[in-house]
Amino acid sequence: MTDFTDPLVSTEWLAARLGDPSIKVLDASFKMPGVMPRPGDDYLAAHIPGAVYFDVEDVCDASNPLPHMYPDGAQFARDVAAMGVSTGDTVVIYDAGGWVAAPRAWWMFLSFGYDNVRILDGGLKKWQAEGRPTESGKPSPAPGNFTATLDPSYLRSKPQLVANLDSAAEQVIDARAADRFEGRVPEPRPGLRAGHIPGSRNVPYNELFDASTGLMKCPDELRAAFERAGVTLDQPIVTSCGSGVSAAVLTLALYRLGVRGSALYDGSWSEWGAADGPPIAVGPA
């Protein structure tokens, strides 16, 4: 296994290795409910050759009413093996280029004990802008052999975040846009209150990448974004967002800055913002 110091790989790196049977490429593109066309249809229309679709809406606990909550280890192992991934493979994950769900899938692999996983910097957007090949349709990969055990330290629950209101032992960083964080606009998911977890900070995830190229910003710019929000990088951190997806963009940026041991609030605002949920705050942090 190559010794990487950064979880990101370039389009050049991947293009030189397409066809290597030990490298498995997954398309984890995601969109909010109701946004058309659906990401699965986008995938069928065009994806990197050999890529298999990692659907965040399917690789989840279907019995939980909250959106795309973590599955258990047995299900994650089955789902990933069905994508053709085996333990020992190098997994490369990308999305459409908006940094929405590739980091979520990456964090899931890490949470389930598998660290041979990378993210394609710039995603499909950069790949296509460079004129690199794509294919359409749905592949039928040979099933892999994968094992997974969840490390609960990678996640936080509502009770843990409620307890943190008093202890303030962990900094909570919210990846949603400022107008949602401050409660100035309605939440896109019906029935949720507007605002944020009291005491949390706001680092909108789309400030961490270049929208024109799809590339994640350099470490100095990432560090500056967290510092502007009042985040102390050497203190415990939990990331949050609308439903536990874009929060992982913050998690990835922190990881690139050398932060280890952060956690993701899986239920995020879909859980906390419910009408009968815990206390909320509005306005700037």
In the chain, where are the structural domains located? 8-150, 153-273
pLDDT for the residue 150: 98
Known catalytic residues?
Answer: 241
Distance in angstroms (rounded) separating the CA atoms of residues 231 and 53: 35
User: Quick check: 151 and 113 in contact, CB under 8 A?
Assistant: yes
CATH 3.40.250.10 fits 8-150, yes or no: yes
Per-residue pLDDT at 2 exceeds 60: no
Q: What is the 8-class DSSP label of residue 194?
A: S
User: Quick check: 4 and 118 in contact, CB under 8 A?
Assistant: yes
Q: Which tops the pLDDT comparison, 173 or 36?
A: 173
Per-residue pLDDT at 33 exceeds 80: no
User: Quick check: 116 and 91 in contact, CB under 8 A?
Assistant: yes
Distance in angstroms (rounded) separating the CA atoms of residues 247 and 230: 17
Cβ count within 10 A of residue 83: 21
Examine domains 8-150 and 153-273 and report if their fold is the same: yes
Least confident segment among 30-44, 123-137, 224-238? 30-44
Q: How many CA atoms lie within 13 A of 63 on its CB side?
A: 3
Which CATH number, 3.40.250.10, 3.40.640.10, 3.40.50.12160, 3.30.200.20, labels domain 153-273? 3.40.250.10
The pTM of the whole model exceeds 0.85: yes
